[in-house]
């Protein structure tokens, strides 16, 4: 596969991968680091990419696996990255950035309590705004299974939110 074609594929999937990694880690730099690693992984397997039917589902699955792998190995640390590689969508003030970081950490913490499938389904629904059918296609599940995953995911989220309101610092 030529670099230009590969770049075009990455252009399509890099934002969802980045947002998924951010939902898992709650940290911008770790998320960027994970996306970079996924891109390198995909480039190494570039000859097989032609055979993949749903590139978005494939890249999100790799991103999810890498996030889980890193969590397990406790390797989610802010990475040293070349800032020239990235363009941020906005430039919030340091104060606003701190609030946003706290909120992102809360999302990451909330999703941590879910199992891998629930978490994937929740991110695709809440962050990416996909329909149940789209989630089913991306996760290779049937639509009813997705509805169950979202329902259980939200029940777990509700327990987490109640605990945070009772004992957490936010509220």
Partner 1 sequence: MESLDKRKKELLQKYWEGTTTLEEERELRSLSSGKEDGALGAYFGGIENISERSVDIDVEGLINKESGQSRRPMIIRMNRVLAYAAAVLLLVSAFFVFDRYQNEEPQIASEETFEDPELALEQTREALAFVAAKMNRGRTETVENVKKIEVLNDIIPK
Return residues touching partner 1 (CB under 8 A). 3, 6-7, 10, 14-15, 18-19, 22-23, 28, 31-32, 35-36, 39-40, 43, 82, 84-87, 89-90, 99-100, 102-107, 110, 125-129, 131, 147, 150-151, 153-155, 157-158, 160-161, 164-165, 168, 170-171
Write down the least CB distance from residue 69 to partner 1, Å: 19
Q: How far is the CB of 122 from partner 1 (least distance, A)?
A: 10
CA-CA distance, 37 to 142, in Å (whole number)? Answer: 30
Q: Helical H runs in 114-142?
A: 116-122, 132-139
Which residue number, 35 or 76, has a Cβ lying nearer to partner 1? 35
Decide: 30 and 69 in contact? Cβ < 8 Å.
no
Smallest separation (angstroms) from partner 1 to the CB of 135: 11
| 129 φψ region: left (φ > 0), alpha (ψ -120 to 50), beta (else) | left
Q: How far is the CB of 59 from partner 1 (least distance, A)?
A: 13
In the DSSP assignment, the letter for residue 157 is H
**Residue 150: partners with Cβ closer than 8 Å, 6 or more residues away:** 118, 121, 122, 125, 132, 135
**Cβ nearer to partner 1, comparing 13 with 70:** 13
Closer residue to partner 1, CB minimum distance, 75 or 151: 151
Query: Residues 6 or more apart from 29 whose CB is under 8 A from it?
Result: 78, 79, 81
CB of 13 to partner 1, least distance (A): 11
| Nearer residue to partner 1 within complex by CB, 70 or 157 | 157
Q: Structure tokens of 148?
A: 């169950």
């Amino acid at each position: 596969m030529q670099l230009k074609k590969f770049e075009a594929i990455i252009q399509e999937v890099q934002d969802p991968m980045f947002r998924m990694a951010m939902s898992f880690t709650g940290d911008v730099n770790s998320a960027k680091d994970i996306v970079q690693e996924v891109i390198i992984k995909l480039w190494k397997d570039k000859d097989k990419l032609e055979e993949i039917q749903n590139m978005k589902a494939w890249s999100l699955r790799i991103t999810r696996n890498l996030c889980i792998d890193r969590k397990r190995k406790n390797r989610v640390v802010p990475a040293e990255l070349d800032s020239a590689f990235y363009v941020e969508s906005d430039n919030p003030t340091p104060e606003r950035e701190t609030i946003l970081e706290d909120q992102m950490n809360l999302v990451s913490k909330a999703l941590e309590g879910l199992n891998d499938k629930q978490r994937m389904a929740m991110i695709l629904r809440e962050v990416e705004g996909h329909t149940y059918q789209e989630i089913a296609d991306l996760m290779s599940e049937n639509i009813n299974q997705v509805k169950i995953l979202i329902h259980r995911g939200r029940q777990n989220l509700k327990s987490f939110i109640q605990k945070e309101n009772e004992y957490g610092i936010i509220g």
